Chain A
Amino acid sequence: MVEETYIEKVCIVRANSIVVDTVPRFSSDDSLFAEFSKQAFRQINPEYPKFFKMDSLSKLAVLAAEYLLEGQPIDDLALVLANRSGSLDTDVRHQESIQNEQEYYPSPATFVYTLANICAGEISIRHGLQTENAFFIAEDYPINTARSYTEYLLKSGKAKRVLCGWVEFFEEKYDAVLYIVSPKGTNKHSAENIKKLFE
């Protein structure tokens, strides 16, 4: 049975830059997320056109996961994600399309993204992860819950490794902190060490 667990690798996407562990991997002067994410994703993966059809929250999650999972084994890698706004950024768009009877044009392509967990589904599809998935919503990253839940998945044998973290996007304000928890590493998977990722 898994005894010790570690934070093996971290990817942070915020303020138009991407940092993996402590190494800056991409940054751009473009202030719009759409343009920043397009350039950043193309740099690491020029051949995944599905990315450009996603809503902003899914783009953020898939972009951060792309940098985090580069060169990583993905065997039995579970997903445990959380954010504050759920899918509210896209919810507002869908609401605009049904607000007036005269301008009523709900679109399936928008509506499908009005669920918080779709971004986890997009990561699963991109990397072929037929594994445990859970999406939580909280005002701030629920450190204790994410930690316990992740430990459960590893200790019960329901996953070998877990991709965890925070993916928040609302009205151009965004923040992604994704990390891999596994039985290998040096940085202990403790509440204190998780907290440090958000400082």
Chain B
Amino acid sequence: MSFGSAVYIHDFNCFTALGEDAEANWASILAGNGGIKAHNIGFLSEVYASKIDFSTIAVDEASEETRLEYILSQVMAPILNNHKPSRRTALVLSSTKGNISYLESGKKKEAELYRLAKKLSVKAGIVTEPILVSHACVSGVLAISVAKRLIQMDQYDEAIVLAGDELSAFVLSGFQAFQAVSPFPCKPFDADRAGVSLGEAGACLFLSRDSSMFKILGEGAINDANHISGPSRTGEGLFRSVQAALEEANVEADAIEFIAAHGTATAYNDEMESIAFNRLGLSTVPLNSLKGYFGHTLGASGLLETVITLKSMQEGVLIPTLGFEKLGTSQPLNVVERITKKTVRRVLKTASGFGGSNAAILIEKTW
């Protein structure tokens, strides 16, 4: 069942280790580049991660912006240029940890996430209260759903959806404690995958009721209710999230022509996704994970991967899964292995994360 008016995605942008905007990222991906390199982070040396190089960026010394604030301001700027915020424009920010690095110097207040949202909304000239979605690794996809839902409820006319997380010793140390960090650049869905590579990024897109090239057909965000740090063995929450999206769109699973998967390259996650997609009858649908290019960028990942996927739909080019060589899940998947010219009309983007969270969104290219 669908509810409320249709919501469309207009402009989009991203800022990652591969480039400062969507065009630069796209060109770099087509050139076969990956952003994951060996870095020293905190007390940890030679860790594979995707880090934005600030040495070539002229940061205003007088500015009190943190790295993350700089990334988010930059990624949002062209969107704001095209869409001057009105009194009914929402800012929906997705972040898991925000300015968490403030804790290294004992600045607890400064680390509070809502302060980051307030700073960015003031900077953007948005007068409505910012909305901050902090829902583990599904935050980026869920933020699109939240914006869509609130537009459909007529709380807003339009929304800037913004997502960002930075690479931090805080998160890296935790993933290492879980023994979930890959000793080489991550290999999503591969037989030799050995965990995540972390990364940092900002991503942004603009939603409104005005029609555009991309229409949101349906979405869902359903919990596994199984385990806080591991996905359901049956992929139940992901399965149900996709079903909710299909139901709202009023289409069958065979309408899906491409899947932009989560694909973190941990043993459990990728296996769970293969099970969920097979239960949905999607084993032959072309699928990719972009984690091999950007690493896992946490609260940014879902939005970043949506942005690259929109670009992919626009250009009629499917992007391969960097790092993938040989399928390593118990269920079959059609992992895209090389740059493929193909027009896809309906695309599914999914994410799953800690806390048993899952999110799915179905997007249609309208022309």
| A115-B355, A116-B134, A152-B153 known; A94+B170 contact, CB < 8 A | yes
Q: What's the least CB distance linking B354 to chain A, in Å?
A: 5
Q: List residues of chain A with CB within 8 A of the CB of B2.
A: 156
Q: What's the least CB distance linking A118 to chain B, in Å?
A: 5
Q: List residues of chain A with CB within 8 A of the CB of B114.
A: 84, 137-139
Q: List residues of chain B with CB within 8 A of the CB of A97.
A: 173
Q: Does A111 contact B (CB under 8 A)?
A: yes
A-B interface contact total, Cβ < 8 Å:
176
Q: List residues of chain A with CB within 8 A of the CB of B43.
A: 98, 101, 104
Which residue of chain B is the closest to A122 with respect to CB atoms?
A: B228
Q: Are B153 and A130 in contact (CB under 8 A)?
A: no
Q: Does B126 contact A (CB under 8 A)?
A: no
Q: How far is it, in angstroms, between the C-alpha of A118 and the C-alpha of B223 when the chains are bound?
A: 11
Interface size on B, as a range, is: 35 or more
| A91-B170, A138-B114, A144-B155 known; A118+B355 contact, CB < 8 A | yes
Q: How far is it, in angstroms, between the C-alpha of A98 and the C-alpha of B168 when the chains are bound?
A: 12
Interface size on A, as a range, is: 35 or more
Q: List residues of chain A with CB within 8 A of the CB of B355.
A: 115, 117-118, 120-121, 133
| A132-B220, A156-B1 known; A91+B111 contact, CB < 8 A | yes
Q: Which of B75-130 contact A (CB under 8 A)?
A: 96-97, 100, 103-104, 108, 111-114, 117-118, 129
Q: How far is it, in angstroms, between the C-alpha of A50 and the C-alpha of B117 when the chains are bound?
A: 34
Q: How far is it, in angstroms, between the C-alpha of A131 and the C-alpha of B169 when the chains are bound?
A: 33
Q: What's the least CB distance linking A132 to chain B, in Å?
A: 6
Q: Are A135 and B112 in contact (CB under 8 A)?
A: no
| A88-B108, A134-B146 known; A142+B129 contact, CB < 8 A | yes
B1-27 interface bits toward A, Cβ cutoff 8 Å, 1 = contact, 0 = none: 111100000000000000000000000
Residue contacts A-B, CB under 8 angstroms, 5 given: A86-B113, A98-B169, A125-B225, A142-B129, A152-B150
B-contacting residues of A (Cβ < 8 Å)?
A: 79, 84-86, 88, 91-92, 94-95, 97-99, 101, 104, 106-108, 111-112, 114-118, 120-122, 124-125, 127-139, 142, 144-145, 148-149, 151-152, 155-158
Among all A-B residue pairs, the 9 with the closest Cβ atoms: A121-B355, A111-B174, A156-B3, A124-B225, A106-B177, A95-B103, A148-B153, A124-B223, A106-B173
